Structure formats: C-alpha cells, structure tokens
Structure 1
Amino acid sequence: MKPPKNFVPDPFAYHEEVELLIDDVTNLGQGVGRIDGWVVFVPFVLPGERVVARIWRNKKQYSDSDLVRIIEASPDRVDPVCGLFGVCGGCQYQHYSYAGQLDWKRKQIEQLILKMTDCKVPVNACLGDTGHTYGYRSKITPHFRRPPHLPDTPIGFQKAASRAIVDVQQCPIASPGINEALPVQRKRLKAEDGLYRRGGTLLLRDCREGVVHDMKAVVSEKIDDLTFRFVAGEFFQNNPHVLPRMVSYALQQAARPGIRFLVDAYCGVGVFGICGHELFEKVEGIEVSEPAIQLARENATLNGVENVTFHLGKAEAIFSELQFEPSETTVLLDPPRKGCDPGFIAQLIAFRPARIVYVSCGPDTQARDLKLFLDSNLYRITDVQPVDLFPQTRHIENIATLELATDLSV
C-alpha cells in the first residue's frame, strides 16, 4: 500500500534500543540526548552519561524512552535512598549527589532567564541545607483512586510518567513525624469500610500541634521567633529548615538604604510582611483569599506587630490607594505558580518602586514575567538567588531582585 502524501516514518521502531550521550536535563527532570540531531528524552539519567534507552513513543519532534542501562556513569551518580525511586513520580534526583543537584538547579535558572529574556545574568549558588536533604518535608498528600478498604487499593503518589498510583508505605523525604503517622493513617483508611465510595486524598501536616490530618484545621509553625497560624490543607511552605533562610534572604534584598516601605503582594498569611516588620517603617500586604487575610491579621496581632496592615483584594488594587513614596518602596511578590497577571505588572511598573523582589515557585513563569520588567527599560536584574526547598526533586524556588535604573536609557 502506498504511504499517504507527506508521510514521515517514525525515527525509531517501538521498543528499539538506542545508545546516546545525555547532554542536558529538562526542568521536568528528563535527560536529553540526540541521535543525528533527533531529541530523545530519557528519565533518571544525569548530564554527561552514556546510556542505552528503549523507545516507547515517537512524537513529531522527539521520542520518549525508558532507561535500560548506564554505560558510562556520571561521577555525581549516587544510590537512591528510596526503593520506589524510578517508579514513584515524587522524586526525580535521588540518583544525583546533593552538590550536583544544587549546581544543576543553579544552571537551570541561568538557562531559563537567558532563554526567556535574552539576558545573561549571574546566578548565585543555590541555597540549600546539606543537613536536611531527606526527612525535611512537613506535608504530604497521599492519594487513592478507589475505596481504600478494597483489596490491593494503592495509597500513595502518582507513578513516574503515568497517572496510576504507586503504593507508598514510607516516604524518605517526609519528616520523621509523618513517617511515624503514615502507617497508622493507612491502616485507618483500609479499616473504614463504606466511608469512601470513590478515591480521595489523605493529609499529613507536621506542625507545632503534631501531625494533623484535618484539611480545615488551623495549625501553626514557627519561623525564627515568630509564630504563624494557617489552614493545614492550604499553602504554607513545606520545608521548615530552609524556609527561614529564604525569607531572610528575600527581606535582605528588599531592605536597602533609602527604603522605608514594603508592599507584600500575594501575601498569604503574612509571612514576609510580618518577618520583615522591623526593617521597614510600614508594610502593606494584599491577598485575594479572605481566610488567608484574616489569618494574616491574626498573625500580626499574635506576634505583637503593629506597623503591618493587610488588605483583601487583587494584587493590582493596592496601587490605587497606596500612600507610599515609590522611590522609598520595595514591592515583594510571591505569586502562585502561574506567575503574575500582565495587567498587574503594567500597574507595578507604572508605580515605579525603587526595588522589586520576586519570589517564585515557578521559575519558568517568573522568567516570562522578568522579561516584561526588562522590556520596560526601567528595571534591571541585580540579583538572582535559587533556593532548594525540595531536595531530591526537580522543584526550584527562585528570588530575583530588580532595581529601578537610575539611568533610564539602560
């Protein structure tokens, strides 16, 4: 039978084994190799390794594969701690030395900013905690897709490259308290015949009150000497060992000579504003979530902080009534993973604060937003600091600092 017009044959047969050199790793933790210019993605490999991979899918511009064996290993390759590594999708880098992880995350930030902004800027060494590369995570949410009392129902996390659930009885990156509580909660779920008619999610939040399972419970955590109350099932950073250092660094970038005021946009329960209250004459925080704002106000009272005010509303709404002198103001941003709305960025640029400190859990969307600031020709990037809140995983937090150019031709 004659092939259709413009037919392009697959570059590889299904399950064909190929040998290739890994020259890069994507921000999803996938190794990148090339054969005659054709890209092949391979999981659980490291830059510089020569491997054999088995093709399982051909796309229009690349192929996906499974790792078969390592021919030449990287000197940064180590033995994973978890027996489920490579099956469970929670971790991507347990086979990577921690020093290698930190350096690779720094390089990824550098590459993202260059790619998105066409601007090559120095990136500081990634800030991490070598004493807590495992056992650090203070919240996990195991899932189950059918009633847990049924035989062989897995309770755990999504498999690598699959939507299926892998059964997880212990998690090495979770805190010791969580790993102590997890078997008890798994047993409880499996004993509750008829309570769950379908799948669901289990919460284990390790906090000052112990390991909490109620999604709606109000719990607390300390950052240095300050106490913060938040809803157990809602967002609050999950690495209590590195979080204080990240907050401190961002506030150091925000508080420079001549800066009297701080705007804490996307403020959540008020962590940055309250932690930085002694560094500024006045702090204004804004958040779209009413429960979060209520807790932020309670946290200010709880910690005896009087110069921080929190407002309910969209981040861009603050500029219409803000009484701060822009030349004496830093705006600190900590938006969700999707980044900032372009309209907010336009209003922020129009306000022209002296400094902008952008904290992000999504370095790709952050780099996209940084381009808008640079394209205004009003701001330049002065500092980039990656932070490793999630060792053994592909996730990177990043703090980018911009300052208003004194020479507006820059």
Structure 2
Amino acid sequence: MSAVGANTSPAIGQVHVLADSEKELPVPKRQRLGIAVVSELDSLKASSATKRDRKRQSRKQKQLEKLPEPCSSDDVLWKDIVSVLGGEAIDAAIEDGKDVQAPLVLQEEVELEVKILGSNGDGIAVPVDSKQPWAVVVPLTLPGERVRARIYRHARLHSFGDLVEVVEPSSSLRDMSRVQCKYFGSCGGCQYQMLSYESQLEFKREVVVKAYQNYCTAILEENMPEILATAPSPLQYGYRTKLTPHFDGPSKSVRKGSRKPTTEQPDWLQIGFNRIGTRKVLDIEECPIATSVINAQIAPMRESIIQNSHTYNKGVSLLLRDSLDTSVDESVDRLSDAFNKHICVTEPKSTVREKIGEWVFEYNAGSFFQNNNSVLPPLTDYVRNAIFPPSSTAPSTLTHLVDTYCGAGLFAIVLSPHFEKVAGIELSQDSIRYATHNAKLNHISEDKISFRAGNAGEIFAVVQDFPRDNTAVLIDPPRKGCDEFFIKQLLEFGPKTVVYVSCNVHTQARDVARIVEEGRYRLESVKGFDLFPQTAHVESVAVLRRVD
C-alpha cells in the first residue's frame, strides 16, 4: 500500500473513529482515483493471488501424496523407487512429512549413482552423499554408473532429471559403438541401443520377475515357477512393420499469417516422434528399427507434408505399414517373388497382407497386429508346445481351443491344425470379418474353425458347446489386461488349460494372481518374448493348468 493510502485510508470494511486530536484537523481531500484506492485493490489482488497459490500448492501436495493407479506406469515406477530406497526409509520419510519435500532444486545439476534399471527402461539413481532418502529417474543410464543430471520435475520421494553427462560409465554394460541410430539419446523410441543384446534380454527377464514379485503375491510363497529366459527376436534392427510418426499444428500467429506452398521445411514443422521425457516432436528422417520398406517411404512422405504444410492447421498422426502387395491375387504361388513383394501402406482404412511362416493374414491397416512378424513363428510355436508339451508321454486330451481377444485370428488359425475345433471370440465385428476371411485365405474349413462375436457380459456363452475338460483357452488382451468380470466368467467356464499372452506383464501378473487365488489353477510357467529389441518393452506368456 502507498504511503498516502496507509496514512489516510482504513482497510475496507473498517470504521475509522476520529480521536479528539483529529477533530480540529481539516477534512482531508478525497483521494484521487488511481492512487490509494488502486493500492488497496492491489493489496486485495495480492491477497487473492496468495490464496490461489496456497490452493494450488495444496492441490499439488494432494496429487503428490495420491497413490498411483495399480499396474499403471506410475505404479510400476513407484515399486522401483521403493526397491531402491527401502520400505523402512520410505515409511519414516512419510511419517516425518518429507516424502514430498524434495532436497533438490529444479534446474539444478546433481551427481548421482545409478542403482537399478527400472522396468520402464530408465535408470533409478540416488544423489551422491545424500542424507535424505530420495531417488532420481534418469533415462539412458545404467546400473553402477555415476552420472550428472539436471532436475526438471519433482514427485513423491523422487525427481526426474535429464542426463547431462555420464561421469563414470559402466564398462561391462555401456558400449556406444553399438548404437545404430543418429537420433538415439534424443528420440523417446529406444532405450537400450548401447547394451549388448544378451544384456537386453536379461534386463527384460528381470522386468518379468519384478512384475510377478509386485503383483502376483498370491502365489509367491509356494508354487511360483522360475521365470524362464526371454526369447530373442530373430531381427534386432529392421523388424518394425509399423510406424506412426506425427507432427504438431502451427501456432496461432503462423495460422493467421500468409502461408504459401513451399519446398522448404517451415520452422514450426517437426515430423517424427516425441523427444525423451517431453511431448515435443523430434524431426526424424529414418528409423533403423523399422523395415527397409518403411524407411524408403519416410522421405517422400516428408516431402509431401512439407509441400502441403500451408494447408495444415492442426497436428496429424501418420501411418506407415509394411505389407505384401494386396493387388497380387491370393492364388499366386506364395513362394513367388510377385506374392512376396513388399509395399508401404499409408492409408489407415486400407487392407494389409502379412505372411507369418506359411500362413497369410489380411487386416485393416489401422487396426492392431503385432509389429514384429519375425518373432511370431517362435511365439506361436511356444504357445503350441505349452498347450501340448513335447516331453509329455501321455496322449493329450485337449481337442478344442478358444481364442479370446482373437483379433484377425493369428493364434486361432496358426494353432488350428492341432485341434478338432477352434473358436475365436471378439467384440469387434470388423475383426470377426477379417478373421473369417483369413481362415478361408488359409483353406481352413468352417467345420473346424469359427469366429464368433462375443458379448462382454457373456464372453463364453458362445462356446458352451465346447467340452471344458478338453478345451484350452488363449487370452491375449490389450495393455489394461482382463477385468474382474472376465476372469469370473473364465473360472466359471473352467477350461483345462489357460495360456495368457500379454503385452503388459504387470497387468498379466495381477490377473494371474486372480486366477490362481482360489486354488483351481496353478501357474506352470512364465516366459518373456522380445518383440521390440532396443526398447524396454517385453511381452510375456503365462501357462496355467486346472487343478483336478
């Protein structure tokens, strides 16, 4: 408040009672608008701003203290934080109210010791000589390394930092000569290019181990099988059959300005993938983990976008998908060069054709299908051998297969020669249409295989004619896993064998715990599969047998 306002004006809402010494004084002049009054308003605004800041800080504190959704990426990270800091230290920090009081300053550079490689692919480190339990998540770092990182965000009992320098690299793990991508370290797509492939597979096995330790406690005390070694991908580079680069739209000022066709890339236009730890797009011209057909299409795709950049007002997600040429008749010899010619599909509503071993599949380009077909033959072989163990001397009684979440029919079709009857169940009518077409494409009779539209409330109602004692069920759900109602229906159906294929081992471990907790099933084996080399992602297959 100004000096004038402080001397002549009471606070708003107060009454100023004149003292005797003031009664003889002349009446003070009315304050000019814009001096004292505005000063008082400024004081009120400042007070309101302070209240808003306090509320904002309170909301932020509640968000920090809020526990993450179980099995979410934040929850998986939290489990890693607990393993590094220790449960007792964390409990003490929470009790003392220090769990949200970061000992580090934003934008500060700190030296750290990396303790573990987290399940999400980032190093989990602790500050050197820190007296307060606190972790820092730093991408592209490895266990045993000493690094320098710049802190950019705080969370509960941990912060996030950008890697500035590897002060002491791990001589046994890090070898930058292995890196084959010029964008590695900036692009958020790959995390492990500096590792040997053997190390990548072992780290992925550890992810599966930790997932079952964290989310499948129901069977940890007994009957927990050893987690098997991660199955490698035949291709470690050039394997990805689908890329989805994108770009953001221009700013408002650019949209309002004069824009004309150009052959020069505008400053605002960045076409590629997100930078590590941000939502900003990194401009890319190639991707070594994608197939050669996709890489050949990136340059003309970029050129077309640049030439038409003046027409874009919003961001766009793009599609590049490796496909056999669907214009070639399906009756052509499947070993011929004509049939095996590859093209790149960019229209989401187009049909893609893919060959998996001796099998051929067609599906909508925008729909889900595994992006590394080099590993699909060993994956489907493993599932077949899990259902029918080669070491078993007794004849199998399994004659029927139910493939839930069947999609375009991959597992149902590939495994069909080993069963009398196969049923694929899907909620999507479009997937049912393609799966039925693929069965005909592979000359499988309708008497043997059928694809049925299931209702989420009665998923197994369409296979009540299948004998449960002779039936195996295959589950291949999306990342969120199975809901409790699905598992309830599965247990009521009661198949002899369950094979659970998952793209999210954490939700798989949670679901397996639900399946075995009543004692009706036992977990026989768990094995990871590397569908995405150079990344932290791992798929997993769990095999369960009914206890009779």
Task: Please tell me the TM-score bracket, short chain as reference.
Answer: over 0.9
- Deviation, 1:132, is 1.7
SS of residue matched to 1:371: helix
**Alignment map for 1:93-112 (pairs within 5 Å):** 93-112=192-211
The reply to whether residue 39 of structure 1 matches residue 180 of structure 2 is: no
Question: What's the CA shift string for 1:209-261, capped at 9, x where partnerless?
Answer: 21111110012101111110001121111111111211221222123522111
Deviates more, 1:298-307 or 1:68-77: 68-77
Amino acid at match of 2:382: Y
1:126 matched to 2:267: no
CA distance in 2, matches of 1:263, 1:216: 28
Could you tell me how far apart the structure 2 residues matched to 1:144 and 1:188 are?
13
Aligned to 1:27: 119
1:10 matched residue in structure 2:
102
Q: Which of 452, 459, 475 is the matching residue for 1:311?
A: 452
Instruction: Determine which of 45, 62, 74 is the counterpart of 2:158.
Output: 62
Residue 172 of structure 1 aligns to a residue whose secondary structure is coil
- 1:178 lines up with 2:277 in the alignment: no
The answer to whether the Cα contact below 8 Å between 1:24 and 1:33 also exists between their aligned partners in 2 is yes
Give the conservation status (yes or no) of the 8 Å contact 1:11–1:58.
Answer: no
In 2: Cα distance, 1:381 partner to 1:47 partner: 31
Q: Where do 1:202-281 residues align within 5 Å?
A: 202-209=318-325, 210-255=343-388, 257-281=396-420
Q: Counterparts in 2 of 1:67-216, with a 5 A limit?
A: 67-74=163-170, 75-79=172-176, 80-118=179-217, 119=220, 120-129=224-233, 131-146=234-249, 151-152=266-267, 153-209=269-325, 210-216=343-349
CA shift for structure 1 position 193: 4.8
Task: Tell whether the 8 Å contact from 2:102 to 2:157 is kept in structure 1 after alignment.
Answer: no
Cα distance in 2, alignment partners of residues 375 and 393 from structure 1: 33
Residue range with higher mean Cα deviation, 66-75 or 392-401:
66-75
Q: CA deviation at 1:85?
A: 1.2
Q: Answer yes or no: is the 8 Å Cα contact 2:459–2:486 preserved in 1.
A: no
TM-score (norm 1): 0.93
Q: Give, in whole Å, the separation in 1 of the partners of 2:281 and 2:524.
A: 43
Give the stretch that moved more between structures: 76-85 or 332-341: 76-85
Shift of 1:400: 0.6
**Given residue 162 of structure 2, which amino acid in structure 1 is its aligned partner?**
D
Q: 1:57 to 1:318 in 2, by over 3 A?
A: closer
What secondary structure does 1:276 align onto?
helix
Which amino acid in structure 1 is aligned with residue 544 of structure 2? L
Between structures 1 and 2, the one with greater helix share: 2
Confirm or deny: 8 A CA contact 2:126 2:136 kept in the other structure: yes
CA distance, structure 2, for counterparts of residue 56 and residue 32 of structure 1: 15
Please give the alpha-carbon distance, in whole angstroms, between the structure 2 residues aligned to 1:230 and 1:347: 29
Q: Structure 2: give runs of 5+ residues left out of the alignment.
A: 1-53, 59-95, 251-260, 326-342, 390-395
Letter in 1 for 2:266: P
- Residue 293 (1) aligns with residue 432 (2): yes
Shift of 1:78: 2.1
Q: Aligned letter for 2:272?
A: G
Corresponding residue SS for 1:183: helix
Moved more, 279-288 or 23-32: 23-32
| 3-state SS of 1:121 partner | coil
Q: Which residue of structure 2 aligns with residue 331 of structure 1?
A: 473
Q: Deviations over 1:340-386 (max 9, x none)?
A: 12101011012111110000111111111111012121111111110
* C-alpha distance 356-315 of structure 1, shift in aligned 2 (>3 A): farther
* Matches of 1:144 and 1:292, distance apart in 2: 29
Q: Which amino acid aligns with 1:255?
A: F
Equivalent pair of 1:254/1:332 in contact (CA under 8 Å): no
Are residue 320 (structure 1) and residue 423 (structure 2) matched?
Answer: no
- Residue 107 of structure 1: SS of its match in structure 2? helix
**Which of 24, 35, 52 is 2:148 aligned to?**
52
CA contact (8 A) 1:177 1:211 kept: yes
Post-superposition shift, 1:40? 1.4
Measured after TM superposition, the shift of residue 388 of structure 1 is 0.4
**Alignment partners' CA distance in 1, 2:481 and 2:380:** 19
Task: Give 1 or 2: higher strand fraction.
Answer: 1
1 CA distance for matches of 2:457 and 2:486?
A: 5
RMSD over aligned CA atoms reads 2.1
Cα deviation 1:153-199 (Å, max 9, x = unaligned): 00001111111111011111111111111101110111125543311
Q: Letter of the aligned partner of 1:366 in structure 2?
A: Q
The alignment-based identity, stated in percent, is 41
Matched letter for residue 228 of structure 2: N
Check whether the contact 2:238–2:292 (CA below 8 A) recurs between aligned residues: yes
| Contact in 1 for aligned 2:458/2:489 (Cα 8 Å) | no
Consecutive unaligned residues of structure 1, counting only runs of 5 or more, are none
Contact 1:144 1:201 in 2 (8 A): yes
Q: Which moved more, 1:26-35 or 1:157-166?
A: 26-35
Amino acid at match of 2:514: L
Displacement of 1:19 in angstroms is 2.8
Question: After the TM superposition, which segments of 4 or more aligned residues of structure 1 sit over 6 Å from their partners?
Answer: 3-7
Larger-Rg structure: 2
User: Does the Cα contact within 8 Å between 1:203 and 1:213 map onto a contact in 2?
Assistant: yes
1:46–1:96 CA contact under 8 A, matched in 2? no
Structure 1 residue 69: Cα displacement: 2.1
Deviation of the 1:7 alpha carbon: 7.9
